[in-house]
Amino acid sequence: MAEHNKLGEEGEKLAVGLLHKKGYEILATNYRFQKAEVDIIALKDETLVAVEVKTRSTPDFGDPREFLKPAQIKRLVEAIDHFIEVKGLDYEVRFDFIGIIKNKLGTRLEHIEDAFLHF
């Protein structure tokens, strides 16, 4: 497995752990619809939360949030709409972002709720 894929998987596991600690119920991971993938879909206080996780080994190339582009946001919205339709759910939806820097110096996690409002 490529090193960046391994880092991404480790980051998603860290994100799931963080969300569990915060009381989120994980409904799905790596949910795919067409060209989109929602890293984590969770439920928190009657809100369906789609979580995008970006993991980097260094902040030298910019903040992980900077790697989320408008086209990807559009695909994420379409994917979560599909998930809701297929599952027959009726919840408010929120999009969160978890940015992770993980390297030999340590691990830093940043959870931004309602992240699309901050981009």
Report whether CATH 1.10.3720.10 matches the domain 3-118. Answer: no
Confidence (pTM):
0.87
d(CA 37, CA 61): 23
| Domain extent listing, the chain | 3-118
In 3D, which of 102, 5, 89, 6 has the Cα closest to residue 50? Answer: 89
Q: How confident is the model at residue 62 (pLDDT cuts 50, 70, 90)?
A: low
Write the CB contacts of 64 (distance below 8 Å, at least 6 apart in sequence). Answer: 54, 55, 56, 99, 100, 101, 110
Q: How confident is the model at residue 67 (pLDDT cuts 50, 70, 90)?
A: low
In 3D, which of 69, 58, 56 has the Cα closest to residue 99? Answer: 56
Instruction: For residue range 18-36, list pLDDT tens digits in order.
Output: 999 999 999 999 999 999 9
